Chains A and B, each alone.
Chain A
Amino acid sequence: MDAAPAGTAAARDAAGERPAAVELAGLTRRFGALTAVDGLSFTVGRGELFGLVGPDGAGKTTTLRMLAGVMRPSAGDARLEGVSVAREPERVKHSIAYMAQRFGLYGDLTVAENLDFYADLHRVPRAERPARLERLYHFSALGPFRARLAAQLSGGMKQKLALSCCLVHEPRILLLDEPTFGVDPISRRDLWLIVHEMVAHGTTVVVSTAYMDEAERFDRLAMLHRGRLVALDSAERLQRDLGIGMVAVPVDRVHEARAVAQRLPGVRNAAVFGDRLHVAVADAAADGPRVVAGLRAAGFAAGAAHAVAPSLEDVFIERIARAGAA
C-alpha cells in the first residue's frame, strides 16, 4: 500500500534509505513581531520515531499545528506523504492523526463510546473495528475500564484514551504534542508502550516533549530553541559527537559546589546530579583532576572525577551556547 507520491530528491535523508514521510522546507510562523517557528528544514523518514525536543516557547506546538494542517505557515511549507500543508491542509488530515495538548474527549461518554465515536468520525469499517479496538484496549490497559465515563478517568488514563482515539483509523503519520505532560511515571510508561507499538508496525511518529530524558527513545530528535533548530541527530550521535568531555565529581554541599565549579577555569558548565556534579570541560582526562583540585581548594570534600557520557540536557545547553542563542 504505497499510493503516496515518492517525494522529492531530498526524501532520502540521513536516517537511511527511508522515503520521506514528512519534509519541512523553511517552515516559518510569525505572530506579529514574534517568530515562533523560524525557517525549519528537515525530513522525517517513513516509519521513523522522531522527537521535537525543547522547552516551552521553543516552537514545538506551533510546528505540530502547521504539520497537522490546522495552522497556516507564514512562509515555507511542509509536505506530509507528499501533500503540501500550505496548499492542501484539508487533504493532509486524511493520512494523519494529531493529538493536541487538550484533546477532545467526551466526558459524558464512556471509554468505549469515545472510541466508537472516533471510529465513526474516521469512517472505520464496522468489520475491522473489533480487532483494532481489542489491540488498543490491550496496549492501553483500558480494557477493564471500557464502561467508565471518560470524565471519571485519571489524567494518565485520559491521555491513554485520547491516544487510542487517535489510533482507531490507523493513521500513517501520528503527531503528538507533549503526550506525557503532567502524566505520572507509571501511566507515562504505558503511553510510550502504545507509541512504540505503533512505530514497530510502521507508523511514522512525530512527538514533542520538554523532557530531555524522554528523548533517548527516539530514532532521531530535533532540538528546538526559540523557533530554531539547534541540533538534529540520534541521541547517541548527539552525545558522542558533542566534542567536549564530561566528568562526574562526588562532592558535599553539591548546590554550593556547582556555583564554585562554574567559575573554575576550563569549566563550560556544571549541573547537580544527585550528590554528584556533572561538569562539562574540554577534555575529561586532563581537566577532571583540575576541577577536583579547584573544589578542594575552595573547601569542598570532592572525590575523584570519572568521565561520564553527556546527558541530552548537557548536549542542549552546549549546542545553544554555540548557536549564540543562549
Chain B
Amino acid sequence: MSAPAVTVEHLTRRFGTFTAVDDVSFQVPRGEIFGFLGPNGAGKTTTIKMLTGLLQPTAGRGTVAGYDLARETESVKRSIGYMSQLFSLYGDLTVAENIAFFAALYGVPRARRAERREWVLAMAGLQDHRDRLTQELSLGWKQRLALGTAVLHEPPVLFLDEPTSGVDPISRRDFWDLIGGLAARGTTVFVSTHYMEEAEYCHRLALMNRGRIIALDRPAALRAAMPAPLLELATDDSPRAVEALEDAPGVIDVGLFGRAVHVTVRDADAARAALPALLAARGIVVRGVAVVEPSLEDVFVALVHAAGGALAD
C-alpha cells in the first residue's frame, strides 16, 4: 500500500476569533475519488485553500502528495491540478492554443508538450476540433477540455469544484468516465460539490459542518446510516398536516415535499399506525403512507441538523 495522497491531522484555521476549520483529520488513499460536501460557511473552501497551498494552517499539519502543507507550499502547488466550475479557458483561443497556453503555464517540458496535447485531445474526444474556437464548443466539451488542461502536467492530486454543473446527463456520465479512468490509473481526485448527483460518483464522502467533519463514509453506508426513517404521507391538506405534525410525538422533522408531506420519525411502524389517526382527528384525510428511501440529500440535511444545524450564513 503506497502512502496516502492526502493526509490531514488536527488541521485548524482561525480568522481572528472565528474558527473556520476546527481540528480536522482524514486521509485520502491514492486513486480515490473523494467527495467533499457541506453547506456554505462549513469550512470547505478554507480546507481546500490549505490543501492547495494557498492558505497556511493555524494549527495541525497535513501533506499532499507527500509535501508538507505549511513548509512546502510551492511543491504542493506543482503536485495538484485544479478545475473550477468557472473554468479559466480562453474563449477566443482555439482548443489547441488553450492546451499550449496551459502546458507552458504548468511548465510541461517542451519535449513532452506534443505528446501531452494529443493525450488531452484524445481523452476529451476533441481530436477533430483542435482548431475550433473554444467559445464555440458545447458546455460538455468545454468541461472535458478544462479537465484536460488541469491534468496536462500529470498531477498526482486533482481538485474539482462542481465540475459537471449544468451539463446534460450524457455528457456528465462521459465526464465521470474520464475521472474514473484517471483515478483507476492512480490520480487522487478531490471533488467539492453541493450536488448529490455528483456525490454519487465518489468512492467516499466527507460531510463538513461548522468547521468539522461530521460524517465520512461510502455513499451507500451513509444512506444506510440515516439516523431516522422517512415517511411520505399523501393527504388532502398537506400544509395543515405539516402544522398538525410539528409537535406530534415521535416526529423529528416534518415538511412539504411537492404535494406530499415528508416526516422523519423515531420509529416507522409506530408512526405508520399513529399519524393517520392523529391527522384524521383534525379532519385531514390521509390517502397513503409509505416509507421512502432517503436520498443522499435527506441524509445530508439530517446529519447537519443533528450536528446543530448550519451556520446562519
Q: Which residues of A contact B (CB under 8 A)?
A: 49, 54-58, 144-145, 152-157, 181-189, 192-193, 196-197, 199-201, 210-213, 216-219, 225, 253-256, 258-259, 271-276, 313, 316-317, 320, 326
Contacts and interface: CB of A to CB of B under 8 A. Distances in A.
A217 B40 contact: no
Contact of A183 (B41, B168, B194, B257): B194
B40 A185 contact: no
A310 to B, nearest CB: 12
B220 A213 contact: no
Interface of B: 38-41, 138-139, 165-171, 173, 176-177, 179-181, 183-184, 194-197, 200-201, 203, 218-220, 223, 238-239, 255-259, 295, 297, 300-301, 304, 309-310, 312-313
A255 B179 contact: yes
Contact of A186 (B171, B181, B183, B301): B301
Nearest to B255: A193
Contacts of B173: 258, 271-272
Contacts of B223: 274
A255 B181 contact: yes
A264 to B, nearest CB: 16
B256 A196 contact: yes
Given A56-B167, A211-B195, A256-B181, 13 more contacts: A55-B169, A56-B166, A144-B312, A155-B40, A185-B300, A185-B301, A186-B309, A186-B310, A189-B301, A200-B239, A219-B259, A255-B184, A259-B177
Contacts of B180: 254-256, 258, 272
Contacts, number: 131
Contacts of B38: 184
A187 B39 contact: yes
Nearest to B169: A313
A45 to B, nearest CB: 13
A196 B260 CA distance: 9
A192 B262 CA distance: 13
A271 B39 CA distance: 27
Closest 7 CB pairs of A and B: A255-B180, A55-B168, A196-B256, A217-B258, A154-B313, A274-B219, A56-B166
Nearest to A182: B194
Contacts of B196: 185, 213
Nearest to A278: B200
Contacts of B194: 182-185, 188
